[in-house]
Amino acid sequence: MSVLASIRPDSWNFPLFIHVLGAMVLIGVAATGAVAELVATGTAEPARVRRFAFRTLLFAGVPAYIAMRGGAAWIYSKEFGDSSDDPTWIGIGFITAEGGGLLFLIALILAGIASWKSKSGLGKAAGIIVGVCLVAWLVAVWAMGGKPG
């Protein structure tokens, strides 16, 4: 019979909770922001939808990213410490967190300019970039849940 769940010390629960909560909010914010940016031109008030998307990414996405990344660093230091041999899923998490964070920042800047200057092309670009982040972060969710290799 295989092990269904591993037992972890209680001191790991809060950092893991912060990491997972931040990641799930970030997934929701990225989906909301991407959809809002991509459908803005087809609405009656595209400027309003672009402002909504930008504010969602800024006021919910940035804190969610900080919580996700901070919780990840915190739980990593508790679980792996100074270990140099990380599992594959940790590498996937680091790559998607760092690369996705950079892309998210670029998309946030583009969304801000699109909402400020009413530029639909920049809004679409921001939506596509956030969509790419969303796909990468969903791969990370799969890796964290499935823990391959």
Q: Over the stretch 16-59, which tens digit does the pLDDT of each residue have?
A: 999 999 999 999 999 999 999 999 989 999 999 999 999 999 99
Residue 60 lies in a domain: yes
Q: Under a CB-based contact definition with an 8 Å cutoff, are residues 106 and 127 in contact?
A: no
Separation between Cα atoms, residue 33 and residue 24, nearest integer Å: 14
Domain of 38, in residue numbers: 11-135
Count of structural domains within the chain: 1
**38-74 CB burial, b ≥16 within 10 A, e <16:** bebeeeeebbebbbbbbbbbbebbbebbebbbebbeb
Per-residue pLDDT tens over the stretch 67-103 = 999 999 999 888 887 777 888 888 899 999 999 999 9
| Tokens 């391959």 belong to residue | 148
Residue 47 lies in a domain: yes
